C-alpha cells in the first residue's frame, strides 16, 4: 500500500518510518498541506494521512475519490477539518482518538503555572542578570476553582492534575462521564464561578465561539483562560477585548482559530499579517505556544502506531474501530451493526 502524508514535519517521519515498516506500507511524505490544489499529489495512493490544518472539505474529497483514494487517516483526534457528512458513502475516515492525554493535560498545566508564577518573565530577566522580583508576584492554585470544559480522556487527566494541587474542580460536558465523581454544572455556572477555565472539548457547530463577547461578560474578573483544544472555541477578538478590559486576567493559548497558515512554520524576521494574533502575543499576560501540547515522544510514537493500525485494519478487515462515520449519528462511535464497512 502507498500512503500520502500531508503537512509532514521532521518530527513525524522517524516514528512513521518505523510504523510503516512494521505494518507493510510505503509512506510518501509531503511538506505541503492537503487542499484542493494539492490533492493531485495523492494520485496512485491507497490512502492519505492528514493533520489538524489539512483541508478535507467536499471539493477535496471529490478529488481524492477521482484519484482512487479509499481512506483518509487522521493522525489526530479532532476532525473539524473533515466534512464527515459529505464523506459518507464516498470515502472512509479514521482518526486517533487517544494518543497521550497526559501530553496535552500536562502542557495545559505547564502553561498555567508559567503564566501565574511569571516563569517566562523570570527566565528572560535572569538571562540579562536581572534578579529583581518586582512584578513577579503570582497566586496559589490551592483552593482556587478550575472549570473544565470537556471531560474526555484529556479533560479527566487535567482534572486529576488540578486535584493534586488542591483545587476545587467543576466541569461542563454535554455528555457527562457517569460514575466519574466529577462535579458537573451548567456551562453558565462554570463561566460565572471559575477562577481558571480550561477547554478540552472538540470543535463543533455547537461549541464554535463558546467563549464570546457575551459569555466573557459573565466571567469572574481576573479569570485565567487556557485552551489546548481547538482555537475556534474562543472568539479571538472578544478574548482580546476581555483582556484589555481586565475582565480576563491571563490567557494561555496553544491553539488559535486562524492558525492554519501560521502555526508549525518559522516566520521569525517576517511581518505577521494577522493583527489579532500579533496583538495577543504583545500582551504581557498572554502566552502562546504553536499547537505544541501533543508534542512528546510518547505521543508521537502512539500516533504513528495507532494510525498504522487503523490503515492496516481497514484494508485487511474492511472495518476499523476508529472509523468516523455519519451513518448512525454517533460519529466517533459508529455502531457497525452489520460487522462490516459502513458503506
Q: Which residues are catalytic?
A: 230, 259, 291
Q: What whole-number distance in Å separates Cα of residue 82 and Cα of residue 61?
A: 9
Cell numbers linked to 269:
524576521
For 233, the grid coordinates are 472555541
> Cα separation of 72 and 246, whole Å?
44
Q: What cell numbers appear for 333 in the block?
A: 462511535
Q: Within 10 A of 267 (CB to CB), how many other CB atoms are there?
A: 11
Q: Where are the beta strands (DSSP E) in the chain?
A: 2-5, 26-29, 47-50, 71-74, 92-94, 145-149, 168-172, 196-199, 223-227, 248-253, 286-288, 323-324
In this structure, what DSSP letter does residue 336 have? -
Helix 275-282 and helix 236-244, axial crossing angle in degrees, nearest 10:
30
Yes or no: say if 334 and 342 are a contact pair by the CB < 8 Å rule.
yes
Residue whose grid cell is 488559535: 256
Q: How far apart are CA 128 and CA 121, in angstroms?
A: 11
DSSP code per residue over 162-217: HHHTT-EEEEE-SS--TTS---B--HHHHHHH-SEEEE-----TTTTTSB-HHHHT
Amino acid at each position: 500500500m502507498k500512503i500520502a502524508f500531508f503537512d509532514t514535519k521532521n518530527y513525524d517521519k522517524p516514528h512513521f518510518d518505523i510504523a510503516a515498516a512494521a505494518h507493510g506500507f510505503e509512506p510518501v511524505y509531503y511538506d505541503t498541506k492537503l487542499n484542493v490544489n494539492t490533492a493531485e499529489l495523492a494520485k496512485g495512493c491507497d490512502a492519505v494521512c492528514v493533520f489538524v490544518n489539512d483541508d478535507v472539505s467536499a471539493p477535496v474529497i471529490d478529488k481524492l475519490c477521482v484519484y482512487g483514494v479509499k481512506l483518509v487517516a487522521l493522525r489526530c483526534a479532532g476532525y473539524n477539518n473533515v466534512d464527515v457528512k459529505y464523506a459518507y458513502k464516498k470515502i472512509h475516515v479514521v482518526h486517533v482518538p487517544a494518543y497521550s492525554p497526559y501530553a496535552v493535560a500536562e502542557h495545559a498545566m505547564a502553561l498555567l503555572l508559567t503564566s501565574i508564577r511569571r516563569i517566562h518573565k523570570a527566565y528572560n530577566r535572569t538571562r540579562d542578570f536581572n534578579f529583581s522580583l518586582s512584578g513577579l508576584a503570582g497566586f496559589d492554585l490551592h483552593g482556587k476553582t478550575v472549570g473544565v470544559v470537556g471531560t474526555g480522556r484529556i479533560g479527566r487527566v487535567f482534572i486529576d492534575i488540578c486535584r493534586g494541587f488542591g483545587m476545587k474542580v467543576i466541569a461542563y460536558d454535554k455528555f457527562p462521564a457517569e460514575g466519574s465523581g466529577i462535579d458537573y454544572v451548567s456551562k453558565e455556572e462554570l463561566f460565572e464561578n471559575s477562577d481558571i477555565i480550561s477547554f478540552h472539548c472538540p470543535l463543533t457547530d455547537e461549541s464554535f465561539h463558546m467563549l464570546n463577547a457575551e459569555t466573557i461578560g459573565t466571567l469572574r474578573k481576573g479569570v485565567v483562560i487556557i485552551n489546548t483544544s481547538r482555537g475556534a472555541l474562543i472568539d479571538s477578538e472578544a478574548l482580546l477585548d476581555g483582556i484589555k478590559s481586565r475582565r480576563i486576567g491571563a490567557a494561555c493559548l496553544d491553539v488559535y482559530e486562524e492558525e492554519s497558515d501560521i502555526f508549525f512554520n518559522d516566520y521569525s524576521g517576517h511581518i505577521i499579517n494577522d493583527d489579532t494574533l500579533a496583538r495577543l502575543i504583545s500582551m504581557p499576560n498572554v502566552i502562546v505556544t504553536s499547537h505544541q501540547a501533543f508534542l512528546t515522544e510518547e505521543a508521537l510514537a502512539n500516533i504513528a502506531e495507532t494510525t498504522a493500525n487503523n490503515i492496516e485494519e481497514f484494508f485487511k478487515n474492511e472495518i476499523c474501530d476508529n472509523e468516523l462515520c455519519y451513518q448512525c449519528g454517533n460519529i466517533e462511535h459508529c455502531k457497525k451493526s452489520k460487522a462490516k464497512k459502513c458503506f
